[in-house]
Amino acid sequence: MAITFLFDSSYCSGCKACQAACKDKNQLPTGTLWRRVYEISAGTWQEKDDAWTTDVYAYNISMACNHCEHPKCAGVCPTNAYTIRPDGIVLLDTQRCTGCGYCGWACPYGAPQFDRQSGIMTKCNFCVDYLEAGQAPACVAACPLRSLDYADLPGLQARPGLTQVVPPLPDPVSRNPRFFIKSHPAVGRARQGDARIANREEVNTRLVGRFEEAPLVAFTLLAQMAVGAFWEYSGLYSLITKAIGELGVFQNNSLIFYSIGLLIFLSLLLSFGHLGNARNAWRVLSHLRKSWLSREILFTGLFAGLWMLMVLLETQQIGGFMRILLNLATSLSGLATIWSMSRVYRLQTVPAWNTWRTPAAFFTSTFLLGFLWAGMIRFFSIPILSWRQVNAVGIGLIAALFFIGALVLRLTSGADKSLRLSRLRVGLIVAGLFGSVIMSLFPGAIGAWMTVPLFILAAVEETIGRGLFYESRSQEF
């Protein structure tokens, strides 16, 4: 029999005794709140007929984990650390948690909280130890006005006056949270777009710093660069520029091939910097059935493994059909890596990410950085000037195409948090586009050398763009 929290918003005074009791009972560190009291307010003063009227309203919502019937946190966790008890309580096994924070991103209520001291995610467990002892949860017992309670779920939905839709709470569709509210009278005047959280800095316990997601910036960009460089190495470049010049330019380059391994393994190494508890990283493939994060790690590892197998073929001088087959498999695993990487961020709780622009931006980065990286290496390893010029024309055309793509994506997206960095990024894209066109039209000695500054421009622009991408994570609630 499932149980649920009940909250009477009309009685709540906002004393936050429930919040304090939860923190005290569970000995939560500074910055971690399992139960939070949201102060909701909106409205304005208006002058009419020499008098002032107001439609200002305010009410409180006390909320912890809602122990949803279909919890998003459990679905995305790569280590499958979440379990649902027969009574509906959703528990987090901290012994399996890597501290990646993905469940916190996916939860529309921000229930999973990152404990910086232990490096793992934590959340409300409905005080299961108290329940098993026949006692009420600490938050319920501490409420002086009895506005917070809990009850058995069956039959509760039919009780009049209870709802799950109160501005600014997100739509409960598909999650079915076990949390019911008796609305404050002011809720009748509240609209979803008007209601605001007045104490957001207090309840938002994990504000994202500018460099907090730096390991993810490095991981995603380096992995995408490695995949793009492999596609160039495996023949996509020659298909695009085949008609330009001599075939010798398009022969496989061993420097490009070995640099791909450096990039992919460096990206995997840096990704550990994002984990609060890297000792559990070996569990990340435990939830392939549902978690896109598990799939991303699987395909990234598969790409690295197939690259190592190709190294073995190189050392054994094995070619022919086996080499072609392995080349194709590695290219497809790279495609799966970038696609699953983009799917990781298609979260309904983050509107800025849940758009077609996310996969488009990731594939643009893959082609732009990967092809420029490979083109730069080809430039330094090609001994004949005419071949360098052919290489410059091909790389310039490809870079121009994807610089245009990056510019379109930037100009059609919403405003970034940092206007200065956003303008700098647009300037870098325009400079890169101009340089690409010049390199294609004038592939002489100077034009050929532009592969190096073009790669630097693209790398700086993509790093700024990816940093702004992570800064845009502002959740609905």
Looking at the fold, whether 240 and 356 belong to one and the same domain comes out as yes
Kindly report the pTM of this predicted structure. 0.88
Q: Decide if 476 is inside a domain.
A: no
**pLDDT value, residue 401:** 76
Element (H or E) spanning 92, and its range? strand 90-92
Q: Decide if 434 is inside a domain.
A: yes
**pLDDT value, residue 7:** 93
**pLDDT value, residue 319:** 65
- Write down which residue in 157, 176, 203 finishes a domain: 203
| Total number of domains in the chain | 2
Q: Chunked in runs of 10, what are the mean pLDDT values of the chain (477 residues)?
A: 88 94 93 91 79 82 92 94 93 95 91 90 95 94 94 74 80 79 76 75 66 90 96 68 45 80 95 93 94 97 94 75 85 96 93 92 93 82 58 70 80 71 81 77 66 87 90 70
Looking at the fold, whether 178 and 311 belong to one and the same domain comes out as no
Q: What is the residue-wise DSSP string for 407-472?
A: HHHHHTS---S-HHHHHHHHHHHHHHHHHHHHHHH--SHHHHHTHHHHHHHHHHHHHHHHHHHHHT
- Write down which residue in 203, 233, 255 finishes a domain: 203
Looking at the fold, whether 378 and 239 belong to one and the same domain comes out as yes
**pLDDT value, residue 391:** 63
Residue 310: which CATH number? 1.20.1630.10
Looking at the fold, whether 73 and 105 belong to one and the same domain comes out as yes
Cβ–Cβ under 8 Å, residues 168 and 38:
no
DSSP strand pairing (179-182 vs 3-8): parallel
**pLDDT value, residue 314:** 76
Looking at the fold, whether 247 and 154 belong to one and the same domain comes out as no
Q: Decide if 209 is inside a domain.
A: no
Cβ–Cβ under 8 Å, residues 346 and 354:
yes
Looking at the fold, whether 171 and 238 belong to one and the same domain comes out as no
Looking at the fold, whether 234 and 275 belong to one and the same domain comes out as yes
- Residues in contact with 452: Cβ distance below 8 Å, sequence separation at least 6, in sequence order: 376, 379
Q: Decide if 280 is inside a domain.
A: yes
> The domain containing residue 430 runs over which residues?
214-471
Q: Decide if 444 is inside a domain.
A: yes
- Write down which residue in 155, 177, 203 finishes a domain: 203
Looking at the fold, whether 241 and 187 belong to one and the same domain comes out as no
Distance between CA atoms of 211 and 137, rounded to whole angstroms? 38
Distance between CA atoms of 42 and 190, rounded to whole angstroms? 8
Looking at 133-253, list the stretches that DSSP marks H as alpha helix, in order from N- to C-terminal side.
138-142, 200-203, 214-231, 237-241
